[in-house]
Structure 1
Amino acid sequence: MTATVPRVIDLRKEPIEDALDRVERTLQVRLDQATVVRKRRSIGARTDRDTWVRIERRGLDRIGSQGGDGTASAEALHGVTKPAWYGSMAWRDTDEPVMWRADETALLPGQPVGSAIVSEDPGLLDAWWAALNASLGALAAQHTYRVATPDTEAITQELVTRTIGNVFAGVDTLVHQWTPAHADLNWANVTAPEFCLFDWEDWGLAPRGLDAATLWAASLAVPALADRVRQERRCDLESRDGKLMLLFASAKILGPHAHPEDPRLTPARAVAEQTVRELQSA
């Protein structure tokens, strides 16, 4: 019998041979097993034609109006530095309400800067920051009907209000400006020394400043890096909606699932308290 709710699994621990075989047959490629990268909900590998294939498992309840085609639809974005998209395939799991999808793209121009959250300064050059700003500026100027899905959940006004309200009281959480966002901008999804932004599965409309606040939160264990993010993206983070996104990102760190040894707790709390004061006095 087909399950009604998908299992929450970690692809780093699950058998993946069947999925890899299916992708190879359909896309007519050979995946280099030595290059396989396994993450919680995705698998990636280099192919014998010098491309990259990313395979994702996502519950049908997490697809919604997006259709699960983030990487393919991002190909229409102009002025954004990202890998070229070449083709894809998708299939419905026979045992669970889950869709598997594989996208073939160009290889990255460099290595990811680090893990999603960094603990040391990556030493990025000014040219790297200029490229980041150019891409985020170009992205914000695009038009889309997609809704961003950070952490695979559609970002709505209700989600913003609930997430912030669970941690910070007395804040008007009404969002005024919604702009296209990558929605998963962390240090594992950008390359260096040459800048490139990849993994576009969750992109779509989001409150202004979501990407900047997400990268800032991923940098908090390195105060100088977090300060650099705020400086470079001050056009977003000093806006009212950008301040709300600082609280949104902080609430995820400081909320009920906070880890007591997370080095980001203290700096997140300090910035959040200042931001609450600014919003309440505006």
Structure 2
Amino acid sequence: MTDNDQRRRDWMEGHLDWAAQELGVERVGTPVHTSRFHSVGCRALDASEDAWLRVVYDDPEWGDGDYLGNNVAANDIQGVPKPTVKRWSEWEDNGRRMRGEVSTFVADAAISTGMTLAAEPALSEQWITDLDQALQALSTHPVPDSGVDASSVNDGIRAFFGIDVDIASVRWTAAHCDLHWGNLTAPRLVILDWETWGRAPAGYDAASLLCATLTYPDSARRIRHALAKFLETPSGRIAVLAAAVRFLRFADGGELTDLALPVRRYALEIIDQL
């Protein structure tokens, strides 16, 4: 850890202490930081009930739109197992916008500590069914104004695959937009981290999860079969290319490099079907 990382870590945990006082909860868990120390959270007691306390800061490089408010906005989504934000507060630190939230506690752990798998997960058929139903319910929610950037995806498809696709012409729905194994719990399914949810080509969440699974062929086949209704449609095939662009950009930046080849192969398979 660099000195700058340590300073950011200490700074975020200081704000976590402040948020606990402001929101009236008692910190009882070890702080958990996300990548690049963009947010921090821990288990807390809220009137003797387990809860989750989280602090995040506004960073223009992290995302477009008012993503700090997206966890609260996601409270309106019905039929999807997810945390509920109970209350929140905002403040500033030297001009930087900060946000603290108290949410319902999720007892089951995330399947992975990162976006991809570290081993084949033991997922029940009920878990697979619950995921299918959750994605169907989410797709019926009113479509938000912000989310996946169509122009950026079109540019990426052209750069990585040398073809032109009008991604804006396919059906778009509400989507989590960051569905991967670090945002899914088991043995009971809960979908975590709704900070970047918004609009996306129909099937984008299924495509993203499948791309994140391609280094584990058995699990990938299971996910592809279970979520075929989202993937094997005109918009679903375009959604696969959109998800592939995202993962290939990660690889270009030195992250998730082991996914680059299988994701490219999968995308080329889909291009042959267009």
Match of 1:157 among 144, 150, 173: 150
Match of 1:106 among 101, 104, 111: 104
Q: CA deviation at 1:62?
A: 5.3
1:175-194 matched pairs, under 5 angstroms: 175=168, 176-194=170-188
146 and 44 in structure 1: CA distance in 2 versus 1, 3 angstrom threshold: farther
CA–CA separation in structure 1 for the residues paired with 2:60 and 2:247: 27
The one-letter code of the counterpart of 1:207 is P
Aligned to 2:193: 199
CA–CA separation in structure 2 for the residues paired with 1:139 and 1:213: 15
Q: Tell me, yes or no, if the aligned pair for 2:20 and 2:53 is still in contact at 8 Å.
A: no
TM-superposition CA deviations, 1:145-192 (whole Å, max 9, x none): 3422xxxxxx22201101211101123233311100011111111110
Match of 2:270 among 250, 257, 275: 275
123 and 11 in structure 1: CA distance in 2 versus 1, 3 angstrom threshold: farther
Aligned to 1:88: 88
Decide which moves more: 170-179 or 205-214. 170-179
119 and 100 in structure 1: CA distance in 2 versus 1, 3 angstrom threshold: same
CA–CA separation in structure 2 for the residues paired with 1:140 and 1:11: 40
Q: CA deviation at 1:261?
A: 8.5
Decide which moves more: 226-235 or 255-264. 255-264
Q: CA deviation at 1:11?
A: 7.9
In the superposition, the TM-score normalised over structure 1's length comes to 0.85
Q: Tell me, yes or no, if the aligned pair for 1:160 and 1:248 is still in contact at 8 Å.
A: yes
More helix by share: 2
Aligned to 2:235: 241
Q: CA deviation at 1:244?
A: 1.7
1:1-282 matched pairs, under 5 angstroms: 14-15=9-10, 16-32=12-28, 34-40=29-35, 41-49=38-46, 50-60=50-60, 64-66=64-66, 68-95=68-95, 98-115=96-113, 116-148=115-147, 155-175=148-168, 176-255=170-249, 257=252, 259=254, 262-279=257-274
Q: Tell me, yes or no, if the aligned pair for 2:83 and 2:192 is still in contact at 8 Å.
A: yes
Question: Percent identity between the aligned chains?
Answer: 27
Decide which moves more: 190-199 or 270-279. 270-279
261 and 139 in structure 1: CA distance in 2 versus 1, 3 angstrom threshold: closer
195 and 158 in structure 1: CA distance in 2 versus 1, 3 angstrom threshold: same
The one-letter code of the counterpart of 1:186 is H
Q: CA deviation at 1:228?
A: 1.6
RMSD, aligned α-carbons: 2.3
TM-superposition CA deviations, 1:206-261 (whole Å, max 9, x none): 11111111111111111111122211111111112211221222233445716598
Q: Tell me, yes or no, if the aligned pair for 2:157 and 2:245 is still in contact at 8 Å.
A: yes
Decide which moves more: 101-110 or 264-273. 264-273
